[in-house]
Amino acid sequence: MAPQGFTTNDSPARARWATRLGLSGKLFVLTVCAIMMAEVVFYVPSVATDRIAWLTDRLAAAHTAALVLKTEKDYRISDSLQRELLASIGAKMVAMRIDNMRQVLATTQVTQQIRQDVDTRDMSMVRAIIGAFDTLLFCKDSDIMRVVGPAPMGGDFLEIVIDEGPLRQHLWRYSRNILLISLVISTIAAALLYLALHYLFVRPMHRITNNMMAFRADPENPARVITVTGRQDEIGIAERELATMQHDLASMLQQKSRLAALGLAVSKINHDLRNLLASAQLISDRLSHLPDPRVQRFAPKLMRALERAIDFCQSTLSYGRAQEPPPDRKMVGLAALVDEVRETLDLGPESAIGWVSAVERGLMVDADHDQLLRVLINLARNAVQALETRAPNDRTRDQIRVTGRRQGAVVVIEVADTGPGFPEKAREHLFEAFQGSTRTGGTGLGLVIASELVRAHGGEIRLADGTIGATFQITIPDRAVELDARRSERARA
């Protein structure tokens, strides 16, 4: 593992360096490096070619001298003329091979050892490159070399011996010029690239990052949403996406604040409603002592309804608290529960809306009684409200049907109606708080509460497709512990 001190001391320094250099600075340095590398790739063969050209120039001068000497008998000339001729070529010796005879045309005293031979007639690029770097790096001013090239006047070849020093100086001059030109080109290219990137890319990026920081400071303020410039490139896309995201976030946060305020209001209403219901409960308790048989029949129902209402207020009415209390699950008879729903909604035999309960005989569901009741009341009340939009209602046509069956360890409950079906808006915002209501006076919470309660049981609620009216299907699985307990019960038996 790397020592702690290394990473902690090194990283901030590197981060500071990277920040100071910035994106444009880094690109500047990278461009200079890339162009310099490209120049090196160009330089290596070019220095070899330049060396060959320099040597070919010397051979060409020797070639001209050979043509001049042709006029002399047997190529014989005076020593002084030889020296002049050799000086003009920059050579120490010029020889030519004609008819397998090597003829020295002009020479001075050559005392040193020849360091290298170059035959320009047959020169591969690799050998030319090696030769060039050999001259550049390893030759001394006193070294001499022999150069062989094509001969004039039907000769086999022309041969000269020259000092290597001038060639070395020439190659160093050439290298220095290439380096200077490369530096100038790469600096100009990098500066252009820097400016182009700065205006096209870095400045807009700064604008986006500055806007992000300003937005973060006050995300609920729609004035802080970035202004889109209308660019069509990736920066434009980033701006548009950011603007959409900021709009969504700002409106979401505004909604959250409204919900928080609403939650507080609901809690206050809840508190006083509970007190009022408690008073109503006291009065109905007194009523239940009256001897009237009709009062005797209805008073317990009224008492139960008030009790439930107080319980709802006591625990968590809709979104008053962040979470519903966890379900207190027991085996509940579904048929009785469905009857309770019917009674609560007052859908007796005289009602204009028909009620069909098709629950398997003796079906027990492993659920919190009150929570499942709330789920079914919400679904059934929605169905009633949907059917009432078609008033006047007809009992044979307008029906609510509740079915219940067991499939292994899961109880499936369906609440179906023959109403007008689900509106598109409600379908789009299914189970989204405050979003899906299409009813005047509706809050859009009923289905959300139902789905939350079902999910707290580990179950699922979904809107079934392709039915007349609307059909909700609920699945409530038995608790795993319950299964284990049952298995052990069975084993004991």
Ligand X SMILES: Nc1ncnc2c1ncn2[C@@H]1O[C@H](COP(=O)(O)OP(=O)(O)OP(=O)(O)O)[C@@H](O)[C@H]1O
Binding site for Mg ion (CB under 5 A): 382, 446
Give the residue, chosen from 365, 447, 453, 474, that forms a contact with ligand X under the rule CB under 6 A.
447
By CB under 6 A, residue 383 contacts ligand X: yes
* 3 state SS of 67: helix
Residue 151 binds which entry of Mg ion, ligand X, none, CB below 5-8 Å type-dependent: none
Give the residue, chosen from 135, 182, 382, 418, that forms a contact with ligand X under the rule CB under 6 A.
382
Query: Residues in contact with ligand X, total (CB under 6 A)?
Result: 20
By CB under 6 A, residue 414 contacts ligand X: no
Q: How far apart are CA 67 and CA 260, in angstroms?
A: 106
Between 363 and 445, name the residue whose CB sits nearer to ligand X.
445
SS (H, E, C) 225-284: CCCCCCCCCHHHHHHHHHHHHHHHHHHHHHHHHHHHHHHHHHHHHHHHHHHHHHHHHHHH
Window 464-483: residues binding ligand X (CB under 6 A): 470
Which residues, in sequence order, are bridge partners of residue 157? 97
Rounded to a whole number of angstroms, the minimum distance from the CB of residue 443 to Mg ion is 8
By CB under 6 A, residue 423 contacts ligand X: yes
Exposure string (b/e) for 307-329, b if CB count within 10 Å is 16 or more? ebbbebbeebbbbbeeebeebeb
Window 198-257: residues binding ligand X (CB under 6 A): none
Give the residue, chosen from 208, 303, 445, 456, that forms a contact with ligand X under the rule CB under 6 A.
445
DSSP calls for 113-162: PEEEEEETTS--HHHHHHHHHHHHHH--TT-EEEEEEPPSTT-SEEEEEE
Q: How far apart are CA 457 and CA 410, in angstroms?
A: 11
Between 354 and 446, name the residue whose CB sits nearer to Mg ion.
446
By CB under 6 A, residue 49 contacts ligand X: no
By CB under 6 A, residue 375 contacts ligand X: no
Q: How far apart are CA 373 and CA 312, in angstroms?
A: 11
Q: How far apart are CA 86 and CA 80, in angstroms?
A: 10
Amino acid at 42: F
Q: Which stretch binds ligand X (CB under 6 A): 231-239, 257-265, 335-343, 419-427?
A: 419-427
Rounded to a whole number of angstroms, the minimum distance from the CB of residue 382 to Mg ion is 4
By CB under 6 A, residue 452 contacts ligand X: no
Between 132 and 426, name the residue whose CB sits nearer to Mg ion.
426
Give the residue, chosen from 320, 354, 446, 459, that forms a contact with ligand X under the rule CB under 6 A.
446
Q: How far apart are CA 349 and CA 140, in angstroms?
A: 122
Residues that bind ligand X (CB under 6 A): 378, 382-383, 386, 417, 419, 422-423, 426, 436-439, 442-447, 470
